[in-house]
């Protein structure tokens, strides 16, 4: 029998049914529940019109305008919901769990759906997300100089059954001035937090989770403060890889990238490299002397990494060779 039930956030995200976000496409792009589909009751332009009407003419006039703008689209909403949830059980939320999700819930109920509506809406979800990062979990931080193939090692650990969270994958960025080259557009910081919380809540608290050593910022993304503090206080495994091997790996990865992109990224380092070293690095790039360019850049990144490590509790740092790492953590 069709019905509408109200769930709290913890029950809602674990209800196991398709979920629709009925906010505007702009709100959805800013951040949404992971896996939710967008069926906007009011699109960006319509939402703006209703907001203006509310300010100029008041609540009742805004409600009337809202219905005038969307009533003719009700059939399309029902059709799209049926495509998303063919078994006709569906979750619905808006920003505060108010009018927009109420309208959609009643519409879908009348169309024969069993509807689960989120109490408090997306706002309650964001509170849940931010609270998630305050819950301590056992971590092992995988460290090493640039080019030590830490991401590849995390992937290997995952295949061996270890718990892993890949922050750079979630952030669509490799974490340096060059980290955005060849990557998809980064999510908003808000959506990054949503995706990270989704992964975080799946972690078994009785087992450690491996995370790559990162600065507090990955491209334009900020790691949540509580989580970053936990990362900095957790044990770190620092893998030692010979510099020539690291350079070979970096050149294999970035040597294929457009020189213009490498040039632009190197220019961003001028304050850190200094005018002369930056000028030398750029000249090497222009002359296709990639190894000489990389040597200058890598010297800077190695020094930066050493400084960051010096701020850690040294008793929690284990230095290990690449060969010994594979022997120790192969299972």
CATH of the domain at 205: 3.40.50
| Catalytic residue (one of 15, 53, 94, 278) | 94
Last residue within a domain, chosen from 68, 98, 130: 130
Q: Are 48 and 122 in contact (CB under 8 A)?
A: no
Same domain, 88 and 218: no
Q: What is the mean pLDDT of residues 238-267?
A: 93
Q: Model confidence over 39-79: pLDDT tens digits?
A: 999 988 888 888 888 888 888 888 887 788 888 899 999 99
Same domain, 52 and 86: yes
Catalytic residue status for 53: no
Full DSSP string of 24-69: -HHHHHH---TT-EE--SS-HHHHHHHHHHHHHH-HHHHHHHHHHH
Whole-number Å distance between alpha carbons of 254 and 233: 32
Same domain, 125 and 213: no
Q: What is the pTM of this model?
A: 0.92
Last residue within a domain, chosen from 130, 148, 179: 130
Whole-number Å distance between alpha carbons of 112 and 127: 32
Same domain, 61 and 100: yes
DSSP label at residue 149 = -
Measured in whole angstroms, the distance separating CA 297 from the mean position of its chain's CA atoms is 27
CATH of the domain at 11: 3.40.250.10
Q: What is the mean pLDDT of residues 163-186?
A: 93
Of 165, 174, 145, 158, nearest to 253 by C-alpha is 174
pLDDT at 195 over 80: yes
Last residue within a domain, chosen from 106, 130, 154: 130
pLDDT at 6 over 90: yes
Burial tier of 25 (Cβ tally within 10 Å: 0-12, 13-18, 19+):
middle
Same domain, 10 and 103: yes
Same domain, 205 and 237: yes
Same domain, 104 and 214: no
Which domain, by its residues, includes 308? 137-328
187: alpha, beta or left, given left = phi > 0 and alpha = psi -120 to 50? beta
Mean confidence (pLDDT) of the chain: 93
3-state secondary structure of 97: coil
pLDDT at 217 over 80: yes
pLDDT at residue 1 in the model: 64
Full DSSP string of 152-200: HHHHHHHHTT-EEE-HHHHHTS-SSTTTTTTPPPPPPHHHHHHHHHHHH
- Number of structural domains (the chain) is 2
pLDDT at residue 161 in the model: 93
Same domain, 64 and 212: no
Element (H, E) at 15: none
Same domain, 213 and 265: yes
């Amino acid at each position: 029998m069709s019905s509408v039930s109200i769930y709290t956030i913890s029950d809602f995200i674990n209800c196991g049914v398709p979920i629709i976000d009925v906010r505007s496409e702009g709100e959805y792009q800013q951040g949404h529940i992971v896996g939710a589909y967008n069926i906007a009751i009011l699109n960006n332009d319509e939402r703006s019109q209703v907001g203006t009407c509310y300010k100029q003419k008041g609540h009742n006039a805004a409600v009337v305008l809202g219905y005038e703008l969307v009533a003719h689209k009700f059939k399309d909403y029902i059709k799209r919901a049926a495509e998303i949830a063919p078994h006709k059980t569906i979750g619905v939320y808006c920003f505060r769990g108010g009018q927009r999700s109420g309208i959609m819930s009643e519409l879908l109920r009348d169309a024969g759906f069993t509807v689960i509506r989120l109490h408090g809406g997306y706002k309650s979800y964001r509170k849940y997300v931010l609270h998630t990062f305050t819950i301590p979990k056992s971590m092992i931080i995988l460290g090493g100089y640039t080019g030590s193939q830490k991401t590849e090692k995390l992937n290997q650990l995952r295949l061996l059954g270890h718990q892993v969270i890949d922050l750079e994958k979630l952030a669509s960025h490799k974490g340096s001035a060059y980290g955005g080259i060849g990557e998809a557009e980064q999510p908003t910081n808000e959506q990054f937090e949503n995706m990270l919380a989704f992964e975080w809540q799946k972690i078994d608290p009785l087992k450690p989770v491996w995370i790559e050593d990162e600065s507090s910022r990955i491209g334009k993304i900020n790691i949540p403060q509580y989580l970053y503090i936990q990362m900095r206080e957790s044990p770190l495994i620092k893998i030692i890889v010979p510099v020539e091997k690291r350079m070979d790996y970096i050149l294999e990865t970035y040597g294929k990238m457009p020189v213009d992109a490498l040039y632009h990224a190197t220019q961003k380092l001028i304050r850190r490299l200094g005018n002369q070293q930056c000028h030398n690095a750029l000249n090497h790039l222009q002359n296709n002397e990639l190894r000489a360019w990389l040597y200058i850049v890598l010297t800077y990144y190695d020094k930066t990494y050493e400084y960051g490590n010096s701020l850690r509790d040294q008793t929690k740092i284990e230095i290990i060779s690449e060969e010994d790492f594979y022997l120790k953590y192969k299972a």
